[in-house]
Chain A
Amino acid sequence: MTNQQDAPGPTRRRLLGGAGLATAAVLAGAARSARAAATVKVGYVSPQTGPLAPFAAADAFTLAAAKAAFARDGIAVEFLVRDSQSNPNRAATVANELINAGVVLMLVASTPETVNPVSDQCELAEVPCLSTEAPWQPWFFGRGGKPGEGFEWTYHYFWGLEDVIAVYTAMWSQLSTNKSVGGLFPNDSDGNAWSDTAHGLPPALAKLGYTMHDPGHFQSGTDDFGAIINAFKSAKAEIVTGVVIPPDWTTFWTQARQQGYRPKIASVGKALLFPTSVEALGRAGQNLSTEVWWTPHHPFRSSLTGQDCTALAAAYTKATGQPWTQPIGFTHSLFELAADILKRAKDRGDRHAVLEALKTTNLSTIVGPIAWGKGPMKNVTKTPLVGGQWRLLPGSELKYYLVIVSNTIAPEVPVADHMQPLP
Chain B
Amino acid sequence: MRPVDVIVQGVLVGGLYTLFATGLSLIFGVMRLVNLAHGDLIVLGAYMGIVTTQALGLSPFASLLVVVPAMAALGYALQRLLLNRTLGDDPLPPLLVTFGLSIVIQNALLEGFTADDRKLAIGSLATRSLALPGGIAVGWFPLIVLACAIAVIAGLQALLYRTAWGAALRATSDDPVTVRLMGVDQRHMYAMAMAVALAVCGVAGVLLACWTNVDPGAGPQRLLYGFEAVIIGGLGSLWGTLAGGLILGIAQAVGAAIDPAFQILAGHLAFLLVLLIAPRGLLPRMAA
The residues of B that contact A230 with a CB separation of less than 8 Å are: 1-2, 5-6, 257
Whether B118 lies near A259 (C-beta < 8 A) is no
The residues of A that contact B138 with a CB separation of less than 8 Å are: 258
CA distance A222 to B212 in the complex (A): 10
CA distance A226 to B126 in the complex (A): 15
CA distance A207 to B256 in the complex (A): 29
Q: Which of B128, B249, B253 contacts A258 (CB 8 A)?
A: B128
A258 with B137: in contact, given A50-B217, A51-B215 (CB under 8 Å)? yes
Range class of the A interface residue count: 35 or more
Whether B127 lies near A257 (C-beta < 8 A) is yes
The residues of B that contact A228 with a CB separation of less than 8 Å are: 256, 260
A276 with B215: in contact, given A224-B13, A230-B2 (CB under 8 Å)? no
For B136, give the chain A residue with the smallest CB separation. Answer: A259
CA distance A280 to B2 in the complex (A): 31
Whether A227 lies near B115 (C-beta < 8 A) is no
Whether A255 lies near B139 (C-beta < 8 A) is yes
A 334-370 binary contact with B (CB < 8 Å = 1; else 0): 0000000000000000000000000000000000000
For A256, give the chain B residue with the smallest CB separation. Answer: B127
CA distance A221 to B39 in the complex (A): 14
Residues of B1-39 contacting chain A, CB below 8 A: 1-2, 5-6, 9-10, 12-13, 16-17
B 129-152 binary contact with A (CB < 8 Å = 1; else 0): 101000001111110000000000
- Interface of chain B, main secondary structure: helix
Whether A254 lies near B212 (C-beta < 8 A) is yes
The residues of B that contact A274 with a CB separation of less than 8 Å are: 116
Asked if A187 lies at the interface with its beta carbon under 8 angstroms from chain B, I say yes
Q: Which of A250, A258, A277 contacts B142 (CB 8 A)?
A: A258
Asked if A246 lies at the interface with its beta carbon under 8 angstroms from chain B, I say yes
Task: Choose among B121, B142, B261, B263 the residue with the greatest number of A CB atoms under 10 Å from its CB.
Answer: B263
Q: Which of A226, A276, A277, A284 contacts B253 (CB 8 A)?
A: A226
Whether A246 lies near B115 (C-beta < 8 A) is no
Whether A227 lies near B253 (C-beta < 8 A) is yes
The residues of A that contact B6 with a CB separation of less than 8 Å are: 226-227, 230
The residues of A that contact B264 with a CB separation of less than 8 Å are: 219, 222
Asked if B53 lies at the interface with its beta carbon under 8 angstroms from chain A, I say no
Asked if B170 lies at the interface with its beta carbon under 8 angstroms from chain A, I say no
In the assembled complex, the CB of A326 is this many whole angstroms from the nearest CB of chain B, namely: 15
Q: Which of B124, B140, B212, B263 contacts A219 (CB 8 A)?
A: B263
In the assembled complex, the CB of B254 is this many whole angstroms from the nearest CB of chain A, namely: 9
In the assembled complex, the CB of B3 is this many whole angstroms from the nearest CB of chain A, namely: 11
Whether A215 lies near B260 (C-beta < 8 A) is yes
A 208-221 binary contact with B (CB < 8 Å = 1; else 0): 00000001111101
CA distance A223 to B249 in the complex (A): 9
CA distance A230 to B258 in the complex (A): 12
Asked if B259 lies at the interface with its beta carbon under 8 angstroms from chain A, I say yes
Q: Which of A187, A218, A247, A255 contacts B215 (CB 8 A)?
A: A247
Asked if B110 lies at the interface with its beta carbon under 8 angstroms from chain A, I say yes
CA distance A50 to B142 in the complex (A): 27
In the assembled complex, the CB of A281 is this many whole angstroms from the nearest CB of chain B, namely: 8
CA distance A227 to B124 in the complex (A): 23
Asked if A260 lies at the interface with its beta carbon under 8 angstroms from chain B, I say yes
For B9, give the chain A residue with the smallest CB separation. Answer: A226
CA distance A307 to B6 in the complex (A): 55
Asked if A251 lies at the interface with its beta carbon under 8 angstroms from chain B, I say yes
A 179-202 binary contact with B (CB < 8 Å = 1; else 0): 000000001000000000000000
Whether B118 lies near A224 (C-beta < 8 A) is no
Asked if A420 lies at the interface with its beta carbon under 8 angstroms from chain B, I say no
Residues of B237-284 contacting chain A, CB below 8 A: 249, 252-253, 256-257, 259-264
The residues of B that contact A251 with a CB separation of less than 8 Å are: 211-212
Whether A247 lies near B218 (C-beta < 8 A) is yes
The residues of B that contact A257 with a CB separation of less than 8 Å are: 126-127
Whether B213 lies near A282 (C-beta < 8 A) is no
Asked if B114 lies at the interface with its beta carbon under 8 angstroms from chain A, I say yes
Asked if B123 lies at the interface with its beta carbon under 8 angstroms from chain A, I say yes
In the assembled complex, the CB of A367 is this many whole angstroms from the nearest CB of chain B, namely: 23
CA distance A403 to B141 in the complex (A): 32
A 224-261 binary contact with B (CB < 8 Å = 1; else 0): 10111010000000000000001100110011011110
Asked if A165 lies at the interface with its beta carbon under 8 angstroms from chain B, I say no
A246 with B1: in contact, given A49-B110, A216-B259, A276-B116 (CB under 8 Å)? no
For B115, give the chain A residue with the smallest CB separation. Answer: A53
Whether B249 lies near A224 (C-beta < 8 A) is yes
CA distance A36 to B35 in the complex (A): 56
For B142, give the chain A residue with the smallest CB separation. Answer: A258
CA distance A65 to B116 in the complex (A): 23
A217 with B9: in contact, given A54-B115, A282-B121 (CB under 8 Å)? no
Q: Which of A57, A216, A258 contacts B141 (CB 8 A)?
A: A258
A222 with B263: in contact, given A247-B213, A251-B211, A260-B137 (CB under 8 Å)? yes
For B126, give the chain A residue with the smallest CB separation. Answer: A254
A277 with B217: in contact, given A218-B256, A227-B257, A258-B128 (CB under 8 Å)? no
Asked if B232 lies at the interface with its beta carbon under 8 angstroms from chain A, I say no
Whether A258 lies near B215 (C-beta < 8 A) is no
The residues of B that contact A52 with a CB separation of less than 8 Å are: 115
The residues of B that contact A226 with a CB separation of less than 8 Å are: 5-6, 9-10, 13, 253, 256
Residues of A19-78 contacting chain B, CB below 8 A: 48-54, 57
* Beyond known contacts A224-B12, A224-B256, A280-B213: 6 more, CB 8 A cutoff: A215-B259, A223-B212, A224-B249, A227-B257, A227-B263, A254-B212
Name the 9 nearest CB pairs between A and B, nearest first. A53-B115, A258-B139, A226-B9, A257-B127, A227-B256, A280-B119, A216-B259, A247-B213, A218-B260
Q: A-contacting residues of B (Cβ < 8 Å)?
A: 1-2, 5-6, 9-10, 12-13, 16-17, 110, 114-119, 121, 123-124, 126-129, 131, 137-142, 211-215, 217-218, 221, 249, 252-253, 256-257, 259-264
Could you list 26 examples of A-B contacts with CB < 8 Å?
A49-B217, A50-B115, A51-B117, A86-B217, A216-B261, A217-B260, A217-B261, A219-B263, A221-B221, A224-B13, A224-B252, A224-B263, A226-B9, A227-B1, A247-B215, A254-B212, A257-B126, A257-B127, A258-B141, A259-B137, A274-B116, A276-B118, A277-B213, A280-B121, A284-B126, A284-B127
